[in-house]
């Protein structure tokens, strides 16, 4: 078989695209195996080097997973590559932190709504538990942050929308970087406590299946957070 021709793009990219098409065309699903590197090399008339680099490209997007001895197998992204891209964009000053928070507010107001509608009892409990842990760990910001992040993630999961869940996952790294700033920028323990209580309220709204109030509280939470970051000089 010959390899493409048209806009003399990079050979590796072409092969990577072809391998993507291979998955599509053959209807491969998660866990299914790709052909061996050698057979693909022969099939496309390139060296194993090229096939391997193309594999790496797909693996970077977590479209396949590679492990020694085994054939490459189709897999599913957990959103981590998106997080990498986003964090890189922030570092390059192409994206402002405030932009990220605007997106988070928009998205999470919706996940709160959906969670209120779709949550299971167990999910509601889990969400409430993280909120209460935030409160108990009031004196331990680092631990509190982890529960905060887990809290938002749990809500996203309860929204039953994988795209939202993936997005929230993608924001975690940036959250982890900015959270301490927001925490410190609150001027008093009273303010910090109010923030924590907002989480308790949100958990209870979700628990009561109050979709509208859930979204309102989530939006309010982000209003406050956004201001806190702004006052700390984070644009």
Partner DNA sequence: TGCATAAACCTGTATGACAGGATAAGCTCG
Partner DNA sequence: CGAGCTTATCCTGTCATACAGGTTTATGCA
φ, ψ for residue 144, nearest 5 deg: -60, -40
Task: Kindly state whether residue 16 participates in binding DNA, applying the rule CB under 7 A.
Answer: no
**Residue 180's binding partner, choosing from DNA, a second copy, none, with beta-carbon cut-off 5 to 8 A by kind?**
none
Interface with DNA includes 37 (CB under 7 A)?
yes
User: Which of 136, 176, 181 lies closest to 153 in space, CA to CA?
Assistant: 176
Q: Which is closer to DNA, CB of 34 or CB of 112?
A: 34
Span near DNA by CB under 7 A; candidates 34-42, 87-95, 191-199, 206-214: 34-42
Decide: is 192 part of the binding site for DNA (CB under 7 A): no
Please, which residues have CB within 8 angstroms of residue 78's CB and are 6 or more apart in sequence?
62, 166, 169
What is the residue-wise DSSP string for 137-156? TTT-HHHHHHHHHHHHHHHH
Q: Which of 5, 69, 93, 188 binds DNA (CB under 7 A)?
A: 69
Q: Does 61 contact a second copy by CB under 8 A?
A: yes
* DSSP H or E run through 164: helix 162-185
Q: Is 26 in the site for a second copy (CB under 8 A)?
A: no
Contacts of 87 (CB under 8 A, 6+ apart): 173, 174
Strand partners, 73: 33, 65
Find which of a second copy, DNA, none residue 63 binds, CB within 5 to 8 Å per kind.
Answer: a second copy
Determine, following the binding rule CB under 7 A, whether residue 98 of this chain makes contact with DNA: no
- Is 36 a binding residue for DNA by CB under 7 A? The answer is yes
Residue 24 CA: distances (Å) to CA of 34, 40, 67, 138, 217: 12, 16, 22, 49, 42
The answer to whether 140 contacts a second copy (rule: CB under 8 A) is no
Q: Among DNA, a second copy, none, what binds residue 95 when CB lies within 5 to 8 Å by partner kind?
A: a second copy
Q: Which residues bind DNA (CB under 7 A)?
A: 10-12, 34, 36-39, 45-50, 52-53, 55, 66-72
């Amino acid at each position: 078989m010959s390899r493409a021709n048209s806009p003399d793009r990079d050979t590796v990219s072409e092969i990577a695209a072809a391998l993507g098409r291979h998955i599509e065309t053959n209807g491969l699903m998660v866990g299914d195996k790709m052909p061996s590197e050698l057979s693909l090399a022969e099939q496309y008339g390139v060296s194993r080097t090229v096939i391997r680099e193309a594999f790496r490209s797909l693996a970077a997007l977590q479209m396949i997973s590679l492990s020694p001895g085994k054939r490459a197998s189709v897999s599913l992204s957990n959103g981590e590559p998106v997080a990498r891209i986003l964090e890189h964009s922030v570092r390059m000053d192409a994206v402002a932190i405030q932009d990220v928070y605007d997106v988070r507010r928009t998205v999470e107001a919706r996940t709160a709504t959906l969670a209120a509608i779709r949550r299971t009892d167990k999910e509601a409990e889990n969400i409430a538990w993280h909120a209460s842990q935030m409160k108990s760990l009031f004196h331990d910001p680092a631990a509190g942050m982890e529960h905060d992040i887990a809290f938002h993630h749990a809500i996203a999961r309860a929204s039953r929308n994988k795209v939202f869940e993936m997005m929230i996952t993608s924001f975690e790294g940036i959250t982890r970087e900015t959270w301490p700033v927001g925490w410190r920028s609150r001027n008093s323990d009273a303010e910090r406590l109010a923030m924590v209580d907002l989480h308790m309220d949100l958990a209870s709204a979700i628990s009561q299946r109050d979709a509208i109030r859930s979204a309102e509280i989530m939006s309010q939470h982000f209003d406050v957070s956004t201001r806190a970051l702004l006052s700390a000089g984070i644009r």
